[in-house]
Amino acid sequence: MYQLSGQLISTASAKRSLNVHGMLLMKRFAYGRSDVVVLCFSIANPNSLNHVKTTWYQEIKHFCPRTPVILVGCQLDLRYADLEAVNRARRPLARPIKRGDILPPERGREVAKELGIPYYETSVFDQFGIKDVFDNAIRAALISRRHLQFWKSYLKKVKKPLLQAPFLPPKAPPPVIKIPECPVPSTNEAGYLLDSPLCADVMFVLQEQSHIFAHKIYLATSSSKFYDLFLMECEESPDLTEMQYNKEHISRDFLSRRNDDIDEATLKMSDAKLPTPESDGTLKTLELKAEDTSSATKALSSWGKGFVSMHKKIQVNPISNRMCPVTVVKMDSSVQAGPFKTVLQFLYTGQLNESEKDLTKLAQIAEILEVFDLRMMVENIMNKEAFMNEEITKAFHVRKANRIKECLCKGTFSDVTFKLDDGSINAHKPLLICSCEWMSAMFGGSFVESSNSEVLLLTINKTSMQAVLDYLYTKQLSSSQELDTLELIALANRFCLPHLVALAEQHAVQELTKASMNDIAIDGDVLSYLEFAQIIRNILRDTAGRLCGT
């Protein structure tokens, strides 16, 4: 056992209080009598590390060439700190610390290696490394005395300065995920879809001459009457799969020749005959032989007021010019086109077109079709209580959302099947067109998927796709046990759905936090997320580089 005593002299603080001569004297005094020099720099100030090499080490070697030196990187906690908060807490005129200023431990170690001295890091705030510095400074000082005969035997067992155990960084707070605003409900798009009826699967015939195209999924999820009607049709009418198959063939032929005169031979081959075009050109009907393409007509007059009959047939869609199977619903003469269209607009959007003039007629048709909330809205307007209609619209959307969820779950009224890596899911093109630009481009344009009833997405698994569809239908993230959130994030990115990406990221953070609180190892998962983020960052950098020509 030996007793040690010592004195600390800070050369840097002395600098400010002394003149040049005094400084020189102080340095001679301090360095001359020192047993060890602890050379400090701040890990948040790269200049201070530069000065270690260019100034301080040379000065030490000048004044006390034999004295051992150890290098210490101070303020280690700043490497892991929230620098914004640190800068806010500093003196107002202090130079703000930037993330780029923070030196990694390797930089200090490199300099120490170059100078041939030990390296340590400390944090006064975290009380880390201070004992290491003192213990090892003492070791260095004692060892440097070994050459003296007197000390030799005493100091035989003193170890050389040891390597410092690594600092265990504090647990990072969970990342803050900024959720972008939820895309506005697709009310406007739905209204637009009625006016421009892509993928329509119903055609109403009114007063024998007006035709209005619509979408079963929009009607059935907002009106029980239509839900019952189309469900009855699904259950009763013969399967049109064969007809659909023919349709896809005919459709391609028809489209490929649409701009030229249609080759009569082709039409004969496909058992089709071209009708006389309507004068306004809005409704191009390519009637096929009834026994091939039309289902038996079902009389509806006893089923519901206002309805006459219903059958299925192949019809050219007025927007895409593609042939599609549609359900033709004939309405009786009491149902006029104008108010009926307003009823449909309500069923698509939950809103009543204020410009509708014939409110009495509208109320009658709403009554006939059992759209009671619309009838109530009309009454409110007539009673000058239109302000109450907002609540009706809200309730309408809640009910509709629940029915939509049910239709996705059961695949009712679906018109497209996604074939996936491990199964398939039935979905509804009209809803997808209105809720996602990616889907709208795929089904609403000239891509082959717009006329096919199957879409192959064989690299995507069913659970992830189900989560994407759930989101598109409900604007909410529904997670299941099997859901791989990382895959969902990738898929949401692929479908250009930033709101879903953020919801999935938030879900991932919540799940990882929960797991780590339950002492479940999450390192592997976290590394997968980091690796994925790195890949995305690289892709973005390369793409940005290519766009900017760098």
Ligand X SMILES: Nc1nc2c(ncn2[C@@H]2O[C@H](COP(=O)(O)OP(=O)(O)OP(=O)(O)O)[C@@H](O)[C@H]2O)c(=O)[nH]1
The residues of the shown chain that bind ligand X, judged by CB under 6 A, are 10, 12-13, 74-75, 77-78, 123-125
> CA triplet 486, 513, 75: central angle to 5 degrees?
105
Smaller CB separation from ligand X, 75 or 351:
75
Smaller CB separation from ligand X, 77 or 505:
77
CB within 8 Å of 256: residues ≥ 6 apart: none
Q: How far is the CB of 74 from ligand X (least distance, A)?
A: 5
Q: Are 215 and 202 in contact (CB under 8 A)?
A: yes
Q: How far is the CB of 10 from ligand X (least distance, A)?
A: 5
**109-116 long-range Cβ contacts below 8 angstroms, 24+ apart:** 111/49, 111/52, 111/53, 111/71, 112/71, 114/53, 115/52, 115/53, 115/57, 115/69, 115/71
One-letter identity of residue 260:
D
Q: How far is the CB of 494 from ligand X (least distance, A)?
A: 43
Determine whether 331 is exposed, middle or buried from the number of CB atoms within 10 Å of its CB (0-12, 13-18, 19+).
Answer: buried
Smaller CB separation from ligand X, 12 or 409:
12
Q: How far is the CB of 14 from ligand X (least distance, A)?
A: 8
> CA triplet 279, 283, 289: central angle to 5 degrees?
110
CA distance 429 to 197: 11
Smaller CB separation from ligand X, 51 or 475:
51
One-letter identity of residue 215:
H
Q: Name the region of 281 (left: φ>0; alpha: ψ -120 to 50; beta: rest).
A: left
- Residue 418's φ and ψ, nearest 5 degrees, are -85, 120
Q: How many residues does the chain have?
A: 550
Q: How far is the CB of 40 from ligand X (least distance, A)?
A: 7
Q: How far is the CB of 50 from ligand X (least distance, A)?
A: 16
Q: How far is the CB of 87 from ligand X (least distance, A)?
A: 11
Smaller CB separation from ligand X, 102 or 460:
102
Smaller CB separation from ligand X, 164 or 417:
164
- C-alpha pair distances (Å), 113 with each of 3, 48, 120, 129: 31, 17, 12, 19
Q: How far is the CB of 123 from ligand X (least distance, A)?
A: 4
Q: How far is the CB of 142 from ligand X (least distance, A)?
A: 25
Place of tokens 């170690």: 109
CA distance 113 to 127: 25
Sheet holding 454-457, edge to edge: 423-427, 416-420, 454-457
Q: How far is the CB of 166 from ligand X (least distance, A)?
A: 17
For 99, the 3-state DSSP assignment is helix
Place of tokens 């048709």: 365
Smaller CB separation from ligand X, 80 or 192:
80
